[in-house]
């Protein structure tokens, strides 16, 4: 049984007011829009923290140590003594560590982007065909069976043109 509901709105300001009221009522909300609303959503709900930086930091640290490890192991396995220079040189090792730091940081940034964006979509997400044309959608998630009327009343109170359970809409 689905525990989500979707409401369609004609105007963004009404949608944001309804989303704020739903959040205050204890529901989790998701806004679906035909156009980007990042500024309006950030202004209404506060800016969300960007967690991609943790993936990037993890990748960069792993890349740094991987570069040191590869350079030192390669120098230790293929010993080439050169007129009194150290067998485990510092400068070339630092260059390799620098390059692998950047490489692993970029790769883990991409991985973090895909993970946090929930791409590729494994499960179907709520959608209504009108959202692609002329409406804004507000998906209310995490509704207990006894709270469906409360969520529906909030959406209708703010002027939702259509309110449906997620299983009833075109997902």
In the chain the domains, ranked by start, together with CATH numbers, are 5-48+123-168 (3.30.70), 52-116 (no CATH)
Residues 64-99 have pLDDT tens digits of 999 999 999 999 999 988 888 888 888 889 999 999
This prediction has a pTM of: 0.73
Cα separation of 128 and 33, whole Å? 11
pLDDT of residue 127: 83
Q: Which pLDDT band, with edges at 50, 70 and 90, does 169 fall under?
A: low
For 39-70, write each residue's pLDDT tens digit.
888 888 888 889 999 999 999 999 999 999 99
Instruction: Give the mean model confidence (pLDDT) for residues 165-169.
Output: 70
Residue 123 pLDDT exceeds 90: no
Helices 38-45 and 12-24: crossing angle in degrees, nearest 10, is 40
Judge whether residue 140 has pLDDT over 50.
Answer: yes
Q: Is 148 exposed, middle or buried (0-12, 13-18, 19+ CB in 10 A)?
A: middle
Strands (E), the chain: 5-9, 28-32, 136-141, 162-165
Contacts of 36 (CB under 8 A, 6+ apart): none
Cis amide leading into 101 (omega within 30): no
């Amino acid at each position: 049984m689905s525990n989500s509901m979707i409401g369609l709105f004609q105007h963004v300001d009404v949608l944001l007011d309804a989303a704020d009221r739903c959040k205050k009522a204890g529901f989790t909300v998701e806004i679906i829009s035909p156009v980007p609303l990042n500024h309006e959503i950030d202004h209404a709900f506060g800016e969300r923290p960007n967690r991609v930086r943790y993936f990037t930091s993890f990748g960069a640290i792993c890349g740094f140590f991987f570069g040191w490890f590869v350079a030192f192991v390669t120098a230790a396995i293929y010993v080439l003594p050169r007129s009194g220079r150290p067998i485990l040189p510092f400068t070339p090792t630092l260059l390799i560590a620098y390059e692998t730091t950047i490489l692993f940081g970029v790769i883990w940034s991409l991985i973090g982007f895909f993970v946090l964006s929930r791409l590729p979509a494994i499960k179907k997400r709520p959608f209504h065909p009108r959202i692609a044309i002329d409406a804004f959608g507000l998906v209310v998630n995490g509704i207990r069976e006894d709270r469906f009327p409360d969520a529906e009343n909030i959406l209708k109170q703010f002027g939702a043109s259509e309110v449906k359970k997620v299983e009833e809409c075109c997902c």
